[in-house]
């Protein structure tokens, strides 16, 4: 029996992962800024579920939630850093407060929770971590630059953590979902830059329209995604990256092909910058 610690567990991927874990006889710590929403989502979970209030950007609250988890269950086996928020707008349109707010949740919040959980996993010499990134952490498009910037940060942090923690028995996986039918495009999760500049209407404007018309029509099924994540947690070896969704796979393949083509086109320029004696 494993103990799961899931952030952003009141809805979307977080709630579905908790539900899937509990259905397999696991124990779970479900955290959210609004713990009552978690209680409402899991009214009959019983002693297998601990609900804890957690704003991931609050380091003291993160430590309190982890302490409560260890006191209740004795250990934490799987950490799912799922809590996050979106920001839609051109990079220039986003003001400093809007940028800092999304980095506070998506990057600094992830770090706060991870720092709170890792001492337990290191003592155990075991653990699994799933850090939610996005297909936007690999291939970011217009309108998503600030959001994608937070996910690029998650990718870099997670790659280093995977190498640092592997000798200690802790595996790290970066989760890269495509477009899934969650509440991410709702106003509760996705914020829009207040400034709207006319020059960006042809590019970012179309993305704003897409977000409105696509909401709750996405092709990805979060229930199936949750099952995959719990399956991977039970596997002997986790991948570094876990792409979810056919749209994600297609975008990653396209991005890798673009990188390879550009690298080849500019290869001679790239290698020309070494000292002459180093190239001899």
Q: Which residues are catalytic?
A: 133, 147, 151
What is the enclosing helix (H) or strand (E) of 206? Answer: helix 206-214
The DSSP secondary-structure symbol of 1 reads -
Quick one: DSSP state of residue 46? G
Burial status of residue 275 (CB atoms within 10 A of its CB: 0-12, 13-18, 19 or more): exposed
Angle of the 59-73 helix axis to the 110-124 helix axis, nearest 10: 30
**Measured CA angle at 82 (ends 191, 129), to 5 deg:** 150
Q: How far apart are CA 208 and CA 276, in angstroms?
A: 50
Tokens representing 34 are 């609004």
Cβ neighbours for 192, distance < 8 A, ≥ 6 positions apart: 87, 88, 89, 208
Q: Are 65 and 52 in contact (CB under 8 A)?
A: yes
């Amino acid at each position: 029996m494993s103990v799961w610690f899931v952030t952003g567990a009141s809805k979307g991927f977080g709630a579905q992962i908790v539900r899937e874990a509990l259905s397999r006889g696991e124990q779970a710590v479900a955290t959210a800024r609004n713990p009552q929403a978690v209680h409402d989502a899991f009214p009959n979970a019983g002693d297998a579920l601990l609900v804890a209030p957690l704003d991931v950007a609050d380091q003291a609250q993160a430590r309190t939630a982890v302490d409560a988890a260890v006191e209740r269950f004795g250990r934490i086996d799987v950490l799912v850093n799922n809590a996050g928020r979106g920001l839609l707008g051109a990079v220039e349109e986003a003001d400093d407060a809007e940028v800092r707010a999304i980095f506070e949740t998506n990057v600094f919040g992830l770090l706060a929770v991870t720092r709170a959980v890792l001492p337990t996993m290191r003592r155990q010499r075991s653990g699994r971590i799933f850090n939610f990134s996005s297909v936007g952490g690999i291939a970011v498009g217009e309108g998503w630059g600030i959001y994608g910037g937070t996910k690029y940060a998650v990718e870099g942090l997670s790659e280093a953590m995977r190498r640092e923690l592997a000798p200690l028995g802790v595996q790290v996986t970066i989760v890269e979902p495509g477009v899934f039918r969650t509440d991410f495009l709702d106003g509760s999760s996705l914020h829009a830059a207040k400034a709207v500049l006319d020059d960006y209407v042809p590019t970012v404007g179309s993305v704003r329209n897409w977000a409105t018309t696509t909401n709750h029509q996405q092709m990805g099924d979060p229930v199936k995604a949750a099952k995959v994540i719990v399956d991977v947690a039970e596997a002997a070896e986790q991948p570094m990256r876990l792409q979810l969704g056919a749209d994600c796979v297609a975008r990653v393949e396209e991005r890798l092909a673009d990188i390879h083509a550009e690298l080849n086109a500019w290869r001679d320029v790239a290698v020309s910058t070494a000292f002459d004696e180093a190239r001899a």
